[in-house]
Chain A
Amino acid sequence: MSQKLTCVGKRITQKDVLLKATGEARYVPDVRLPGMLWGKVLHSPYPHAKIKKIDKSKAEKLPGVAAVITVEDAPKILWARSFRDMPMAPSGALQRADEYILADKARYVGDPVAAIAAVDEKTAEEALELIEVDYEQLPFVLDPFEAIKPGAPLVHDYAKNNMAVHLTPPPFLVKGDVEKGFAESDVVVEEKFFVSKQVACQMETQSCVASVDSSGKITCYSPCQLAHPFRRELGKMFNVPVGKINVINPFVGGSFGCRLSCHNEPICVLLSMKTHKPVKLVYSKEEDFISIDTRTPHYYTVKMGFKKDGTLNAMNLDVTTWAGGYLSRAQLAGGITLIWGLGHYRCPNMNGSCDVIYTNTTVAGAGRGFGNPAIMWGVEEVVDMAAEKLGMNPVELRLKNTKQTGEMANMGLPIESSYIDDCIREGARAIGWDEKRGKNKGGNGTLKRGVGMATMTHCSGAWPLLIEHSNAFIKFNEDGTADLTVNPGSPGTHIWGTLSQIAAEGLGIPVEDIYIVTGETDKTMFDLGSHASRSTYVTGNAVLEAARLAKKQLLERAGKILSESPDDLDVRDRQIYVKSNPEKKTSVANVCSQAIYNLKGDSMNISGKSSWCSHYNSIPTAAYFAEVEVDTETGEVKILNFVTAVDCGKAINPMTVEGQCEGGVQQGVGYGLTEDYVINKNTGAVESNNFTSYKMPGTMDMPETTKTIIIDKPDPKGPFGAKGVGEPGLVGVAPAIGNAIHDAVGVWMKDLPATPEKILKALMEKSPQQD
């Protein structure tokens, strides 16, 4: 990449953002089709109940009701909300088909048991009240440790002791002899942690508009970010050829993992099949809170042993992942905590385990960072605990153990590039580590200040654990502009802009000339979709390759016009010129136009198409630094300053990278301090089912200053050197805050979120034996 970049690295606004500023952008709840009905779902009020009988006659008689459906009306096929049969390793972590479209037995409060389609929303709501369900309440179990005791109520008959799956680390993360390693360590720290069930809180509630026409064609407007795998699952579920299904993603109002699954879409499709009319189904925020996938909660033990000089010598992780009534992606989000946790630092002896357990609670699946924020909370706190025992600076202790380029990364492949040490050093400098660390413990009355840090490594896609396959197609239009067809999904991450910049740079034309075609499975080739921080890296490489092929065709056509060898030509400022004689040129538009409209009989649409499968995985790395002020009287934590230093390779668009990191800080502040998913122990009901009881941070809860440092050193494998950055923004935010709290007031918070009550309790427990 010796040539000067003209578009990559620039702060360019993605074209369609304008439509979001004017209100023209249409999201699923804004879609209206002629003759459309409204759908509503009846959710179980009980955490575990046999459904003995459902009497729908009264509801059916209400004028305006077009259909009432229950499990009896649904295909007798088990499906997986997180999609079956994805080629995946290790195979023990495969997605499991364990639910019907509507519940055969209620397995959590919120489980959909029936649904209505009616002429309008109000009629559908009224009809819901008229459905009579005869439930037989069953004993239920909410806690995973209770769930595995003999005699506990069984959530699924197939899963003995409610054990969905027991996982061990992949072979490349089982190393040496752990017991011996601990015995030979000078400092060993072992601690238990709990992390709560964070809710995605995407602002657009879960919605679907489905239309099944008389030919059987299914059109499904959905926010699902894995549109192609979702289409296949719909085909299997309803026994319909995939070609008859079009999954459309209009604008999507946020995901943060929850849109990796589909939720009410199958219900909506079934309602449309029954009524022969389009149906719209929009969940309320409360329905979102109780019945769409949350992040997986985990109990876990971290044990780490260090040599006197700070070298990490042994590490063990035992994780218990608390799935809900269905598995979704809990088995993956659980199992992968071992990969993130054990794969982060260099260590000669390590092992671990992960149990994934069914309970009668809301389903837990993917959350941004996919298990990495959960496990790094504990790992990074334990590193700080060890630093204290070793009498070492936590910055130095981390620098001692970070993995470098060429060593084996978390997913078992060599690290293509790592600038984690730059992240640590630059972040420490920006927060003022040396001046502030440990300096203000006795200060200012009840207000104590401290600084803390954390680090992480993540991924750019999930290869080699999962297929990483994307396609891109670029065609030149007759005026020299180009259409880029891709379908990575876009829950709001500006990936279309990022991919347009890659295409523009690859083709040598201005980014304004790139038009994106996306959002429909009918119009696009396969793309796995948006997950695991993959789209810039995997779809981006597909785009770059398609651009290379399209440019090759363009130069070949231009060569004929200019009577020059294509190898001697290049593209700049919409002109194709002879490299040795730039005055000799023709316009891209001229070449494209002549290629399409001519009477020579050799017309062609200049284009390039590529199928891209990753065979490597470049890991983004990051370091996070927080400066906090803790009020020892109230337990409140104020975040003064936050710094994220991120190594995401070459930043295709620095503004987008900053946006991802700044948004990650908000989610990390919530994860660390305020967002608590509370389930009533007596009823199994979700008590934190709105934004008043579930506190996601607003403007006033955010740090006074937030800074993103982009290391901006290219990776050898990413397109123009880029690595993934969608998830890293969040991963280490909470542990940096947790470690800063300890620096301020000397308590270790082990149970997330660290609410003021928990901090006060910890302070109280600490104070008798202290000063």
Chain B
Amino acid sequence: MKKEIINLTVNGTLHEISVEPQVTLNEVLREQLDLTGTKLSCGAGECGACTVLIDGKPELSCCTLAMTANGKDILTIEGLARDGELHPLQKAFVECGAIQCGFCTPGMLLTSKALLDENPDPTREEVKSYLSGNLCRCTGYVKIVDAVLAAATEMNKGGK
């Protein structure tokens, strides 16, 4: 099949990549760019494990054709910490016990980042509702929601 060249800015770095039309963003990130922090679980848009941010919005990389992300800005879990400094959400997830096996974690963290960017001071219900497409089999979600709320508090203190 015919390959095309696309440009993706991933975690701030511009990549020129040649892809076939049916290739997903998930495959490009994991197989071509070796960014394996983005997970693949259901592969069908049902679990949120593959979530990345495209131009700041949470998207399921398993259902996104790489071509459609041409020219866009992509944030994966590898880009969440800046200059060796963890994002407050990462700190909160670690400290609150929100991570068990960790397979849902990258997707949870990026979805949570999108939430806090949109709504810096969410209620518990709002967090639950925003994360409703992200499945976790380990934690029962309790400490994940706790962590998002803790990060929000921290960021609102001016932590940023």
Interface size class of A (residues with CB under 8 A): 35 or more
- CB contacts under 8 Å to A, within B121-147, are 127-129, 131-143, 145
Q: Are A23 and B35 CB-contacts (below 8 A) given A13-B94, A698-B133?
A: yes
Inter-chain CA distance A661–B141, complex, in Å, is 11
A32 in contact (CB, < 8 A): yes
- The answer on a CB contact under 8 Å between A658 and B97 is yes
The 8 Å CB contact of B100, one of A11, A200, A492, is A492
Find chain A residues with CB under 8 A from B51 CB: none
B154 on the A face (CB < 8 A):
no
Residue among B41, B95, B127 facing the most chain A CB atoms (10 A cut-off): B41
Which residues of B have CB within 8 Å of A29? 36, 40
Q: Is A483 interfacial (CB-CB < 8 Å)?
A: no
For residue A655, which residue of chain B has the nearest CB? B97
Say if the beta carbon of B38 comes within 8 Å of chain A: yes
A665 contact set on B, CB distance < 8 A: 140
Kindly identify, within residues 30 to 78 of chain B, every residue whose CB is under 8 Å from any CB belonging to chain A. 30, 34-44, 46-47, 49, 76-78
Q: For chain A residues 658-677, which have a beta carbon within 8 Å of chain B?
A: 658-659, 661-667
For A13, what are the chain B residues with a Cβ–Cβ distance below 8 Å?
94-95, 97
Asked whether A202 and B46 contact (CB < 8 A) given A13-B94, A22-B37, A666-B141, the answer is no
Q: Is B25 an interface residue (CB 8 A)?
A: no
Q: How far is the CB of A16 from chain B (nearest CB, A)?
A: 9
Docked-complex contact B37 and A24, CB < 8 angstroms = yes
Query: Are B42 and A17 interface neighbours, CB within 8 A?
Result: no
Given A18-B94, A23-B38, A699-B131, also A254-B139 (CB < 8 A): no
User: A492 with B47: in contact, given A205-B41, A662-B140 (CB under 8 Å)?
Assistant: no
Task: Choose among B37, B49, B86 the residue with the greatest number of A CB atoms under 10 Å from its CB.
Answer: B37
**A residues 1-56 in Cβ contact with B at 8 Å:** 11, 13, 17-27, 29-30, 32
Are B94 and A702 in contact (CB-based, < 8 A)?
A: no
Once the chains bind, are A23 and B76 in contact (CB under 8 Å)? Answer: yes
Complex interface: stretch among A111-119, A178-186, A548-556, A688-696: A688-696
Asked if B80 lies at the interface with its beta carbon under 8 angstroms from chain A, I say yes
A492–B46 contact, CB under 8 A? Answer: no
Task: Knowing A22-B90, A23-B106, say if A253 contacts B101 (CB, 8 Å).
Answer: yes
User: How distant is the Cα of A700 from the Cα of B132 in the complex, in angstroms?
Assistant: 6
Other-chain residue from B39, B86, B100, B137 in contact with A659 (beta carbon distance below 8 A)? B100
CB distance from A223 to the nearest CB of B (A): 10
Contact, CB under 8 Å: A690 / B46: yes
Q: Is residue B109 contacting chain A, with contact meaning CB distance below 8 A?
A: yes
Asked if A201 lies at the interface with its beta carbon under 8 angstroms from chain B, I say: yes
Residues of A within 8 A of B105 (CB): 20-21
CB of A343 closer than 8 Å to a CB of B: no
Q: In the assembled complex, which residues on chain A have CB atoms less than 8 Å from the CB atom of B46?
A: 690-692
Do B137 and A202 touch across chains, with their CB atoms under 8 A apart? yes
Which residues does chain B contribute within 8 Å of A32, judged by CB atoms? 34
CB contacts (< 8 Å) of B101 on chain A: these are 20, 202-204, 251-254, 491-492
Q: Is the CB of B78 within 8 A of A22?
A: yes
Within 8 A of B (CB), among A214-268: 251-254, 256
Q: Is B21 an interface residue (CB 8 A)?
A: no
Interchain CB contact under 8 A, A203 and B106: no
| Residue in contact with B42 in the complex, picked from A251, A253, A285, A491, CB distance below 8 Å | A285
- On whether the beta carbons of B43 and A284 are closer than 8 Å, the reply is yes
**Nearest chain A CB to B10 CB, angstrom units:** 12
Cα–Cα, bound, A27→B37 (Å): 9
- Residue of A17, A30, A202, A661 touching B99 (CB-CB under 8 A): A17
Say how far B20's CB is from chain A's closest CB, in angstroms: 9
Whether A656 sits at the interface, judged by CB under 8 Å, is yes
- Tell whether, in the assembled complex, residue B49 and residue A203 are in contact, meaning their CB atoms are under 8 Å apart: yes
Please give the distance in Å from B130's CB to the nearest CB on chain A: 9
The A/B interface has a contact count, at CB < 8 Å, of 163
In the complex, which residue of chain A has the Cβ closest to the Cβ of B35? A23
Chain B neighbourhood of A205, CB < 8 A? 40-41
Say yes or no for A404: interface residue by CB 8 A criterion: no
Question: Which of B34, B40, B93, B104 has the most A CB atoms < 10 Å from its CB?
Answer: B40
Contact with A along B98-115 (1 / 0, CB 8 A): 011111111001000000
Choice from A19, A24, A254, A493 contacting B137 with Cβ under 8 Å:
A254
A696 with B135, Cβ < 8 A, contacts A21-B109, A203-B41 known: yes
B102 near A662 with CB under 8 A, answer no
Taken together as a complex, chains A and B put the C-alpha atoms of A692 and B44 apart, in Å, by 9
The reply on B81 being an interface residue by CB < 8 A is yes
Question: Is A706 an interface residue, CB under 8 A from the partner?
Answer: yes
The one of B78, B103, B141 that contacts A254, using a Cβ cutoff of 8 Å: B103
Query: With the chains together, A26 CA to B103 CA distance in Å?
Result: 10
Chain A residues contacting B109 (CB-CB under 8 Å) are 21
Determine the distance from Cα of A738 to Cα of B35 in the docked complex, in whole angstroms: 44
Closest to A642 in B: B140
**CB of A469 within 8 Å of the partner chain:** no
Minimum CB–CB distance from B98 to chain A (whole Å) comes to 9
Distance of B75 from chain A, by nearest CB (Å): 11
In the docked arrangement, what's the CA distance between A27 and B94, Å?
18
List A residues 518-546 near B (Cβ within 8 Å): none
**Min CB distance, B83 to chain A, in Å?**
13
**Pick the contact of A691 from B38, B76, B135, B143 — CB < 8 Å?**
B135
**Which A residues are CB-close (under 8 A) to B36?**
23, 26, 29-30
From A22, A26, A699, B128 is in contact (CB under 8 Å) with: A699
A699 with B145: CB separation less than 8 A: yes
Q: Flag if B139 contacts A659 (CB, 8 Å).
A: yes
In the complex, the answer to whether B44 meets A690 with C-beta atoms within 8 Å is yes
- Say yes or no: A663-B132 contact (C-beta < 8 A), given A22-B81, A203-B101: no
| Option from B127, B129, B143 in Cβ contact (under 8 Å) with A662 | B143
**Closest B residue to A289 using CB positions:** B42
Asked if A285 and B77 make an inter-chain contact with CB atoms under 8 angstroms apart, the answer reads no
User: What's the Cα separation between A663 and B101 when bound, in Å?
Assistant: 11
CB distance from A500 to the nearest CB of B (A): 15
* A437 surroundings in chain B (CB, below 8 A): none
**For the complex, what is the distance from the CA of A677 to the CA of B66, rounded to whole Å?**
34
Contact A702/B44 with A13-B94, A203-B103 known, Cβ cut-off 8 Å: no
How far is A21 from B91 in the complex, measured between Cα atoms in Å?
A: 8
In the bound complex, residues from chain B placing their C-beta under 8 Å from that of A201 are 135, 137
A535–chain B nearest beta-carbon distance, Å: 14
Q: Which residue of B lies closest to A223 (CB)?
A: B101
Say if the beta carbon of A494 comes within 8 Å of chain B: yes
CA distance A658 to B97 in the complex (A): 9
B139 lies within 8 A of A662 (CB): yes
Interchain CA distance A491-B95 in the complex, whole Å? 19
Please, how many angstroms separate the alpha-carbon atoms of A666 and B38 in the complex?
24
Smallest beta-carbon distance B86→chain A, Å: 7
User: Which residues does chain B contribute within 8 Å of A253, judged by CB atoms?
Assistant: 39, 101-103
Interface centre among A19, A30, A494, A699 (most CB of B within 10 A): A699
- Give the distance to chain A from B88, nearest Cβ to Cβ, in Å: 11
- Tell whether, in the assembled complex, residue B43 and residue A285 are in contact, meaning their CB atoms are under 8 Å apart: yes
Give complex CA distance A202, B104 in Å.
Answer: 10
Q: Which residues of A contact B78 (CB under 8 A)?
A: 22-24
Question: By the criterion CB–CB under 8 Å, are A690 and B132 in contact?
Answer: no
Contact of B102 among A17, A667, A690, A696 (CB under 8 A): A17
Most chain B beta-carbon contacts within 10 A, residue among A22, A491, A658: A22
In the complex, chain A residues 200-214 whose Cβ is within 8 Å of any chain B Cβ? 200-205
Sample of 15 further A-B pairs with CB below 8 A, known A285-B42, A663-B140: A18-B94, A20-B99, A22-B90, A23-B106, A203-B103, A203-B136, A204-B41, A253-B101, A254-B103, A659-B138, A659-B139, A666-B140, A667-B137, A691-B46, A698-B133
Top 6 nearest A-B pairs by Cβ distance? A23-B37, A492-B101, A20-B102, A253-B103, A23-B77, A662-B140
Chain A to chain B contacts (Cβ below 8 Å), 5 pairs: A13-B95, A24-B37, A27-B103, A203-B49, A698-B132
